[in-house]
Amino acid sequence: MKKNEVLLKAVIVYLIYFIYMQYGSLLGNLVPFLPIHVVLLFLDILFLILILGLYHKNLEKDWVKFKKDSTMVQKLKIVLLGFLSIILANFALSLIGELFHSGNIVDQNTTSIQNMPLYYAIFKTMIFGVIAEEILFRESLGDVIENKWLYILGSSMIYTAMNFVFTISDISIMQILGYFIPALVFGTIYIKNERNIIFVMIVKFAYHLIPLTILLLGV
C-alpha cells in the first residue's frame, strides 16, 4: 500500500475514534430506554469491527510471523519479559507517587473500570483495550512512522493525549505519566519484536488481567 494511502487510513481511523468518543455519551442520552453503557458497548463493537476490517491484512501477516519465527519457549520469554517490564514500570510510578503525593496511587486501568458494569469492564479491558486500542495506537502508527525512536515517543504521546482530550478536570503529572510510561513500554515491545502487534496484544491482555481481577475481588 502506498505511503499516502496508509497515512490517510490512519487519519480516518483516528477521526472516527475521536468523533465517537466525543459524542458517544451524547448519543447515549438520546436513547433513554437503554443504559448508557449499552449504547457505548454498541459503539465500541462497531469501531472494533471497522478497525479489524481495515487492518486485517496486518493482523494476518503478524499472526503468520508469530507462529513461524520463534519457538513456543521463545514466545513465552518475550511475553514474560514484556509483562515484567510493564509491571516494573507501574511499580516505579507507584514509588514516585508515594514520594511526591500523599495517599495511594491507583493504576490508571483500575481507576478507569471501577465505575463500569462488569460486562462492559470485561469487554473494554480484555477485548477492546487489547485489540482495537493496540491496532489504533500502535499498529496504525507503525505503518506511518518508520523511525523507531520517533515511533515510540510519538505513539506514546498520542496515546496519552487521547486519554485526556475529553477530560475537563485538572490533570496531574502523575496521571499523565500513568499513561505515558506504560505506552513507552508497549511501544518498545512492538519495535523490539519487528513491529509484530500480536506480542503486544498478548502482553496487554495479561497486564489487563490485574485491574480486572482487582475489580472482581472488590479490592
pLDDT digits (tens, 9 = 90+) for 88-130: 988 888 888 777 764 444 455 555 666 778 888 889 989 999 9
Residue linked to cell 514466545: 75
CB neighbour burial string for 141-160, b if at least 16 within 10 angstroms, e if fewer = bbbbbeeeeebbbebbeebb
- What backbone torsions phi and psi does residue 4 show, to the nearest 5 degrees? -65, -35
Contacts of 35 (CB under 8 A, 6+ apart): 117
Closest CA to 58 of 162, 168, 175, 190: 190
Q: What is the Rg, in whole angstroms, of the alpha carbon atoms belonging to the chain?
A: 18
* pTM attached to this predicted model: 0.87
| pLDDT tens digit sequence for 174-194 | 888 888 999 999 999 999 999
Q: Residue ranges of the domains in the chain?
A: 56-217
pLDDT for position 70 = 81
pLDDT for position 108 = 53
Quickly count: other Cβ atoms within 10 Å of residue 127's Cβ: 15
Residue linked to cell 443504559: 35
